[in-house]
Structure 1
Amino acid sequence: MFDKMIFNAQIDFVRDAERIARKHHLIQCTEGNEIYYQSSALSNIEGIWWKIRGRTAQIKCSLHKLFWRSRYGTLDNSQMFTISDAKQIISELLDEWDINQEQVRITYYEVGLNIPVDHDPIEYITLAESIGVMRNRELFNDANFEKNRQKTTEKSKNIKKVFKVYDKGFEARDKGRLCEGNILRIETIYRRQSISLIDFFSEKSIYNIIHTFYRDWATIGFRQRLTADKGIKSSQLDKAEALLRLGRDDYLRSTYERWKSGHLTDKQYRTIREFINSWDEIKCHFRMVQSPHEIEYKTKLLSLFNEAKN
């Protein structure tokens, strides 16, 4: 379930920097009189980016991609990736890096899940409007992608936790990679963190992180469809949809403005006004129902989460 992470390790530059740079094929750089080391363009192939400057060695990588590369030879994060897999790969990486894990802190991490879906992911993303028990985190279209291929909650610099839902296949193709099937990716991004690596990978910490992930993503708000009792006219259904979308006061105000401007007849205006005023008595004949996409999503979320948490 863990994907991209950023690790900051405290080292002794004089004693350790050159040794680490040589082992991981870093290039030496200078800025004024300062010498530092960082990865070359090969990091895109190897899947790990390093930078050593002063007493800090920073490492950026995707645990998911590195696990897949170590087992199957490709940097891929479109498949299932379990907590057991994450523990295995982080243990292997710490042995490789040859740095003191007690001096390592995690400053950024992503928790995600790939959900194979029955339809084009754009259909699910279009319906996704918010996340949170009170639907208090709105999902916005990401301007860097085609409309409804990726939505996120607000990403301003002071927000440490960001939710993202996107079309995994579209994202892969956009970056020149292959990804088969319809895959909806859900992801929680934690930024500006400072967590001891040892504490992070403790059983208690992992349990809290992954169960928070499930609770959050079980609250995603999909746009629902309004239906009505038999005998309700389609024109009444249209009025109910407008009332629920705009609210009673705004719907009444907009109806009045349309009547004053001549877009509604006197009879149409009276009919809508009477409908609004009688809403408390007739609203029992209308109800919101889940879309098939929402039902499928929630069923698969639970099933895949139970598989991934082990």
Structure 2
Amino acid sequence: MIDYLILIKRKITDVEKKKLISKNGLLEQMTAQKPYFDNSVKYIFEGGIYIKIDRDNKLTIKGSLHKYFNYLATKKMLNDNRFTMHQANETLLKLIENIGFETNNVFVTSYEIGANIQVSINPKMIFEQITSISVFDDLTIKKQMFVNASYKDNRHITTYKHKDIRVYYKMYDKYFEMKAKHKPIPNDKFLIRIETVNKKLEKTLLGDFMELENLQRLKKQFVKKWNNLNFDFMIDAPKGTHNNKRSLAKEIILNGKQSVIENYKTQKLEGKIPTKIFRNIIAFCNEWDLIKHEFKPKQSEICIIWANCYNAEIQELN
């Protein structure tokens, strides 16, 4: 579950620096007359864990823990299989041992938690139906999900992730990504990877982070959020109900009656809708509490397929 992470130790001793340089074969580099040591020449061939010691003796370690786990087992840096929190705990211990750094005052400043969901239909069909994710206790507050334009063919969706965002959520077609990187993939199978990205952490000590009890707590938080993925839906209504009323009922269910009223009041003031249509909308909203039992949200078949596949994988991660 733990994937990419960044570890920072703000000040290491000269003794520890010498030991790390020797044990990991770090080479001296130079940027703008500022010397530092790192393993940039070879890290991609040795598990993908990047190590850097800057001129002020700050130690930075970053990479995918999931891929490092697979590298240790198979010499292949992949993260398309199942990776439990127990395995994450064991892999962190192995990472510390292999690099040889002292864990006191090491902070986790960024980490990702992810899971791979085997699905029975093309992931793109699922992405097209997803609208948002509810990550707060108030489930009416939603984070909208968008197509990430940095990836081809609408195969990656995400919540906002600009530089000021501390937590964001993303989903992508894992096999599509692997194929683009010329990695082997199974035939006639589909895999979606879901990830929660946590950035700009300041007070998370590695020793506390890697405790199995904490990792299990993080897993529960991850599942709680992803349980509330929101899909587009249809409206069941009495036969003969006009599509405009179905659409308005859907708006109210999604955004709340008062929000819809305020939205159309604004449109009316701006001259965007005729008076007659505005009056009909307001009348419908005012009657909503009496008639809402006639308008029922109906899950799409794709939503049901996703729920079954997602729940099956989450059960395996327990």
- With normalisation by structure 1, the TM-score equals 0.84
Aligned pair count reads: 296
Q: How many angstroms apart in 2 are the aligned matches of 1:293 and 1:98?
A: 48
Q: How many angstroms apart in 2 are the aligned matches of 1:227 and 1:131?
A: 23
Q: How many angstroms apart in 2 are the aligned matches of 1:135 and 1:183?
A: 28
State which of 288, 297, 301 in structure 2 corresponds to 1:292: 301
Q: How many angstroms apart in 1 are the aligned matches of 2:3 and 2:229?
A: 21
Structure 2 counterparts to residues 143-222 of structure 1, below 5 A: 143-146=149-152, 148-180=154-186, 181-194=189-202, 195-222=204-231
Cα pair 1:227 1:237 within 8 Å, conserved: no
Q: How many angstroms apart in 2 are the aligned matches of 1:56 and 1:257?
A: 58
Q: Does 1:124 align with 2:126?
A: yes
Cα pair 1:82 1:307 within 8 Å, conserved: no
**Partner residue of 1:64?**
66
Q: Does 1:141 align with 2:150?
A: no
Cα pair 2:86 2:212 within 8 Å, conserved: no
- The alpha-carbon deviation at position 222 of structure 1 amounts to 0.9
Q: How many angstroms apart in 1 are the aligned matches of 2:171 and 2:87?
A: 23
**Structure 1 runs of 4+ with >6 Å offset:** 256-260
Cα pair 1:243 1:276 within 8 Å, conserved: no
**Partner residue of 1:264?**
none
Bigger shift: residues 111-120 or 10-19:
10-19
Q: How many angstroms apart in 1 are the aligned matches of 2:2 and 2:283?
A: 52
Kindly tell me: are residues 274 and 87 of structure 1, through their superposed partners in 2, closer, same or farther at Cα, counting changes over 3 Å? closer
- The alpha-carbon deviation at position 277 of structure 1 amounts to 3.7
Unaligned residue ranges in structure 2 (runs of 5+): 253-259
Identity %: 24
- The alpha-carbon deviation at position 142 of structure 1 amounts to 1.2
Cα pair 2:89 2:212 within 8 Å, conserved: no
**Partner residue of 1:7?**
7
Q: Does 1:84 align with 2:92?
A: no
Give the residue type in structure 2 aligned to 1:51: K
Q: How many angstroms apart in 1 are the aligned matches of 2:279 and 2:10?
A: 69
Q: CA RMSD in A?
A: 2.9
Q: How many angstroms apart in 2 are the aligned matches of 1:169 and 1:8?
A: 32
**Partner residue of 1:21?**
21
Give the residue type in structure 2 aligned to 1:43: Y
Bigger shift: residues 235-244 or 115-124:
235-244
**Partner residue of 2:105?**
103
Kindly tell me: are residues 257 and 84 of structure 1, through their superposed partners in 2, closer, same or farther at Cα, counting changes over 3 Å? closer
Kindly tell me: are residues 292 and 135 of structure 1, through their superposed partners in 2, closer, same or farther at Cα, counting changes over 3 Å? farther
- The alpha-carbon deviation at position 37 of structure 1 amounts to 0.7
> What are the superposed Cα offsets for residues 68-109 of structure 1, whole Å, 9 maximum, x if unpaired?
111122111011111121122111111111111123211110
